[in-house]
Structure 1
Amino acid sequence: MEECDSKCEACATRGTCTDPRKEMDVELRAVSARMGRVKHKIMIASGKGGVGKSTVAVNLARVLQARGFRVGVLDADITGPSTAKLLGVERERLLAGPGGIEPVDSKGLKVISMAFALSDPSSAVVWRGPMKMAAIKQFLADVSWGDLDFLIIDLPPGTSDEPLSVVQLLPDLTGAVIVTTPQEVALLDSRKAVNMVKAMGVPLLGIVENMSGLRCPHCGEVIDIFKTGGGERAAEELAVPFLGAIPLDPEITPLGDEGVAFVDRDTAAKESFERVVDGILGQIGEEKRAV
Structure 2
Amino acid sequence: MSSCEGCSDGSCSINQQGNPQDEQFQMRQRLDKRMCGVKNKIVVMSGKGGVGKSTTAVNLALALVKQGKKVGLLDIDIHGPSIPKMLGLEGQHPNADEAGIYPLEAFGLKLMSIGFLLASTSEATIMRGPMKHGAIQQLLADVVWGDLDYLLLDCPPGTGDEPLSAVQLLGAGSAAVVVTTPQDVALTDVEKSISFCRELKLPVVGLVENMSGFICPHCGERSDIFKSGGAKVLAEKTSISLLAQVPFEPLVVIGGDAGKPHILEYPESATSVTLQQVASAVIAASDKE
Fold in common (TM above 0.5): yes
In 2: Cα distance, 1:65 partner to 1:165 partner: 26
Residues 1:246 and 2:256 are matched in the alignment: no
In 2: Cα distance, 1:187 partner to 1:240 partner: 14
Determine the structure 1 residue equivalent to 2:54: 54
In 1: Cα distance, 2:55 partner to 2:97 partner: 29
Contact 2:207/2:242, CA 8 A, preserved across alignment: yes
Residues 1:199 and 2:207 are matched in the alignment: no
RMSD in angstroms over aligned alpha carbons?
A: 1.7
SS of residue paired to 2:250: coil
Out of 264, 267, 270, which is 1:268 matched to? 270
Structure 2: runs of 5 or more not aligned: 1-12
Q: Which residue identity does 2:119 align to in structure 1?
A: S
Number of residue pairs matched by the alignment: 273
1:224-250 residue CA offsets vs partner (Å, 9 max, x unmatched): 000011111101100111101100001
Determine the structure 1 residue equivalent to 2:285: 283
Determine the structure 2 residue equivalent to 1:235: 235
Q: Which residue identity does 1:269 align to in structure 2?
A: T
In 2: Cα distance, 1:236 partner to 1:260 partner: 35
Determine the structure 2 residue equivalent to 1:190: 190
Determine the structure 1 residue equivalent to 2:67: 67
Q: After the TM superposition, which residues 67-146 of structure 1 pair with which residues of structure 2 at under 5 Å, given as runs?
A: 67-146=67-146
Residues 1:177 and 2:177 are matched in the alignment: yes
In 2: Cα distance, 1:283 partner to 1:15 partner: 39
In 2: Cα distance, 1:121 partner to 1:54 partner: 17
Tell me by how many angstroms 1:277 deviates.
Answer: 1.5
Please say which structure displays the higher CA radius of gyration. 1
Q: Which residue identity does 1:155 align to in structure 2?
A: C
Contact 1:167/1:173, CA 8 A, preserved across alignment: no
Structure 1: runs of 5 or more not aligned: 1-6, 17-21, 287-291
1:41-99 residue CA offsets vs partner (Å, 9 max, x unmatched): 10000001100000000101111111111111100111110011111111211221342
SS of residue paired to 2:186: helix
In 2: Cα distance, 1:260 partner to 1:185 partner: 30
Contact 1:173/1:202, CA 8 A, preserved across alignment: no
Contact 2:20/2:26, CA 8 A, preserved across alignment: no
In 1: Cα distance, 2:20 partner to 2:174 partner: 35
Matched-pair identity in %: 45
Q: Which residue identity does 2:259 align to in structure 1?
A: G
Tell me by how many angstroms 1:252 deviates.
Answer: 0.7
In 1: Cα distance, 2:224 partner to 2:273 partner: 19
SS of residue paired to 1:193: helix
In 2: Cα distance, 1:10 partner to 1:104 partner: 33
TM-score (norm. length: structure 2): 0.90
TM-score (norm. length: structure 1): 0.89
Contact 1:174/1:284, CA 8 A, preserved across alignment: no
Q: Which residue identity does 1:187 align to in structure 2?
A: L
In 2: Cα distance, 1:142 partner to 1:28 partner: 11
In 1: Cα distance, 2:201 partner to 2:195 partner: 10
In 2: Cα distance, 1:273 partner to 1:63 partner: 7
SS of residue paired to 1:24: helix
In 1: Cα distance, 2:275 partner to 2:166 partner: 26
